[in-house]
Amino acid sequence: MLSTMQDVPLLVSRILQHGMTIHGRSRITTWTGEAEPHRRTFAEAGTRAHQLAHALRDELGVRPDERVATLMWNNAEHVEAYFAIPSMGAVLHTLNLRLPPEQLVWIVNHAADRVVLVNGSLLPLLVPLLPHLPTVEHVVVSGPGDRSGLDALPVRVHDYEDLIAGRPTRFDWPELDERQAAAMCYTSGTTGDPKGVVYSHRSVYLHSMQVNMTESMGLTDRDTSLIVVPQFHVNAWGLPHATFMTGIGMLMPDRFLQPAPLAEMIEREKPSHAAAVPTIWQGLLAEVTANPRDLTSMKQVTIGGSACPPALMEAYDRLGVRLCHAWGMTETSPLGTMAHPPAGLSAEEEWPYRITQGRFPAGVEARLVGPGGDVLPWDGESAGELEVRGNWIAAAYFGGVGAEPVRPEDKFSEDGWLKTGDVGVITSEGFLTLTDRAKDVIKSGGEWISSVELENALMAHPEIAEAAVVAVPDEKWGERPLATVVLRDGATADYSALREFLGGTIAKWQLPERWTAVDAVPKTSVGKFDKKKIRELHRLGQLEVTTLD
């Protein structure tokens, strides 16, 4: 027996039309670094998205399923591209501007992008790459920037505003199959070539609904979200699509991502929500400690990308800002968990829940798999690799134009679950605690040491700004931890004192003997600690390591 319900495809174009009509007065505010930011309503941005679609189809000849790349900061024009490209049946391909040039070249060629939308300020990054991008025929430049480097290249150059000016303000959006590709992101390629994850209209729509649920970010048209997480990083965690569903205002930082302008944005524009990786909030904390600002408008901050040190959460609690842990990855769209404690608890009782990665929403199924392939119980003690499946979870990687999707055995189980590479435990209530990445666990004398636990403990020390711990070879134990620390200005703590400090919370046999200090912990393109780089520096003998007795 079938239902009597209508079968209306879940499409990005429907999110766009809803946002520009029902929530047409909501605004996208883009920081300019000047006295007044740029403001554009959802209705205005939506109309311009219609015009952009006409320009891409009528002037540039963009066809259905064709990839259109964006190399842009978080701003209103990027939001317009977010909606115009998939709504017309093409595929939005966001380029990570922090990747090494050789990886960007590989990604653009693998996706066979023919059109690139770029902010003028990013032309110095794009222009040297273009001779190596044979598929790119059109470059659309938004905003000021030196375009002279484009003159000698075999590409047609268009100004964004000139391109959309005078175009019809209504595009007849096609009725697409909701399983058709809407957008794609590539992983950062920390091991091997980057891998392409292709999101469907259906997955984007369902993920956006989940972002808006109260057990997730739970925002409404009374809120404004400071979207620091880049639009090239898993679709800015789904926020641009989610905001058009519920009318949440967007505060977009453009290229002004340093702690001082972020603090000014918060104080002046008073967002009620923000989203970014821990390193952003560590930098902001240092800024507002030195130069106090009013941050209390932010009721909630979604923090993910890597584990948030509990000491950082406590510091923001004292400022009246609540950090909420989330977990996800490119392959999960990215929302996988959020750490909202159960109802009816005191602040003290909430704390053990807040420092987990959180609970799984209804759209995400999870299991833990042990080294022998056995599925482990949710008892809060049995540790295994996290595997997930669901409506917005990848089932494969993009194999290239005209090629079949790729399903590597180390990434997908035989029965279709995504192997996340994260090791952790799950309680009977469904709260996930990640103890490490599988590749970062320190295997010492037949036992596991969590690098994340050591890092969190170190960053609770008042004289430590950053800390990353990696496994290094050891003749006796196989592997031992190397602690890489960044000391705050004027710090006097030595390695012995730091090791003694760790001894207050960490088992003695897990304490690092090897220590090194650096000016800054290397970061990946999305702001995570680059442990692969630290291990390589150690292997090459480029770190000054002190070994304690």
* Range list of H helices, 344-391: 347-354
Instruction: State how far the alpha carbon of 321 is from the alpha carbons of 117, 327, 495, in Å.
Output: 36, 19, 32
Under the banding of pLDDT at 50, 70 and 90, the label for residue 448 is confident
> For residue 50, which amino acid is it?
H
Mean pLDDT within 193-207: 96
- Say yes or no to pLDDT of 124 above 70: yes
Span of 37-41, 127-131, 503-507 with lowest mean pLDDT: 503-507
475 among known catalytic residues: no
* Residue appearing with tokens 């205002």: 249
Rounded to the nearest 10 degrees, the angle between the axes of helix 42-54 and helix 76-87 is: 50
Which residues, including other chains, have CB under 8 Å from residue 16's CB and lie 6 or more apart?
Answer: 46, 49, 83, 87, 244
| Residue 446 predicted with pLDDT over 80 | no
Beta bridge partners of 303: 276, 325
CATH architecture label of 440-547: 2-Layer Sandwich (3.30)
Q: Which amino acid is at 150?
A: L
The pLDDT value given to residue 90: 98
Catalytic residue, from 331, 385, 387, 466: name it: 331
pLDDT in tens, 386-435: 999 999 999 999 999 999 999 999 999 999 999 999 999 999 999 999 98
| Distant-in-sequence, close-in-space partners of 489: CB < 8 Å, separation ≥ 6 | none
Unique residue bearing structure tokens 């979200």: 225
Sequence spans of domains, the chain: 440-547
Sign of CA dihedral 61, 67, 68, 69: negative
Looking at residue 438, its pLDDT comes to 77
Q: What are the Cα distances from residue 248, in Å, to 233, 383, 505?
A: 20, 38, 42
- Asked if the model's pLDDT at residue 190 lies above 70, the reply is no
In angstroms, the CA 318 to CA 291 distance is 16
pLDDT score for 193: 83
The one catalytic residue in 351, 378, 448, 477 is 448
Q: Quick one: pLDDT at residue 109?
A: 98
Q: Are strands 323-328 and 196-200 parallel, antiparallel or unpaired?
A: unpaired
Residues 246-258: pLDDT tens digits?
A: 999 999 999 999 9
pLDDT at 526 over 80: no
Q: How many CA atoms lie within 13 A of 31 on its CB side?
A: 25
Q: Is 479 exposed, middle or buried (0-12, 13-18, 19+ CB in 10 A)?
A: middle
**What mean pLDDT do residues 70-83 have?**
98
Percentage of the chain modeled with pLDDT above 90: 87
Among 261-265, 438-442, 449-453, which stretch is predicted with the lowest mean pLDDT?
A: 438-442
Planar angle of CA 277, 358, 365, nearest 5 degrees: 110
Average pLDDT (50-63) is 98
Residues 117 and 68 sit within 8 Å (Cβ to Cβ)? yes
| pLDDT tens digits along 274-308 | 999 998 999 999 999 999 999 999 999 999 988 88
pLDDT digits (tens, 9 = 90+) for 356-386: 999 999 999 999 998 889 999 999 999 999 9
Name the band, by pLDDT with cuts 50, 70 and 90, for residue 452. confident
Cβ(263)–Cβ(270) below 8 Å: no
Let me know if 187 is a catalytic residue.
yes
* Confidence class for position 27, pLDDT limits 50, 70, 90: very high
Which candidate in 175, 296, 349, 443 is catalytic? 443
**Cα-based distances in Å from 457 to 21, 94, 116, 132:** 49, 36, 44, 46
How far apart are the C-alpha atoms of 205 and 177, rounded to whole Å?
Answer: 13
**Average pLDDT of the residues of the chain:** 95
Distance CA 287, CA 405 (A): 45
Q: Flag whether pLDDT at 180 surpasses 70.
A: yes
Q: What is the pLDDT of residue 9?
A: 98
**Per-residue confidence (pLDDT) for residue 189, from 0 to 100:** 56
* 44 belongs to the catalytic site: no
Can you tell me whether residue 3 is helix, strand or coil? coil
Query: Is 331 marked active-site?
Result: yes
- Token pair of 84 as six digits: 């115009």
Closest CA to 175 of 14, 40, 24: 14
| More confident site: 445 or 182 | 182
Taking the C-alpha atoms of residue 379 and residue 372, their distance in angstroms, rounded to an integer, is: 18
Judged by DSSP in three states, 350 sits in helix
Identify the active-site residue in 29, 70, 94, 187.
187
In 274-417, which ranges are continuous DSSP H helix? 278-290, 310-318, 347-354
468-477 pLDDT per residue, tens: 999 999 988 8
